[in-house]
């Protein structure tokens, strides 16, 4: 890319407000799309966990407090090991 000016490479041309806003819009759209895609992938897992929790709570297996603590501990373990 040595010696290329903004006139020779249109991707580097950000001289007007419209071009800057186009780039910002593309970045925003990408971030929103990734967030929605991630949320949609997680919804199935959350739904299954909720069904199991309701079933086991109705059966009197355990209360909500130990269930919440196990969830926090498990999430923390996976967060530490995957990083």
For residue 60, which phi and psi values (nearest 5 degrees)? 80, 25
Distances (CA, A) of 17 to 8, 13, 27, 83: 19, 11, 15, 39
Average pLDDT over residues 46-57: 81
Asked if residue 3 belongs to a domain, the reply is no
Whether 66 is covered by a domain: the verdict is yes
Domain of 40?
10-82
Residue 47: inside a domain, yes or no? yes
Tell me whether residue 69 is in a domain: yes
Total domains in the chain come to 1
pLDDT, one tens digit per residue, over 10-44 is 666 677 888 889 889 999 999 999 999 988 888 88
Judge whether 1 lies within some domain: no
* Residue-wise pLDDT tens digits, 59-74: 877 677 877 888 888 8
Q: Is residue 35 part of a domain?
A: yes
Six-digit token string for 69: 């603590």
């Amino acid at each position: 890319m040595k010696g290329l000016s903004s006139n020779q490479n249109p991707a580097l041309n950000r001289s007007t407000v419209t071009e800057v806003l186009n780039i910002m819009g593309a970045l925003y759209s990408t971030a929103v799309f990734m967030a929605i895609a991630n949320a949609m992938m997680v919804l199935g897992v959350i739904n299954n966990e909720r069904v199991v929790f309701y079933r086991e709570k109705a059966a009197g297996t355990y209360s909500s407090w130990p269930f919440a603590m196990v969830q926090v501990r498990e999430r923390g373990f996976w967060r530490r090991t995957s990083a």
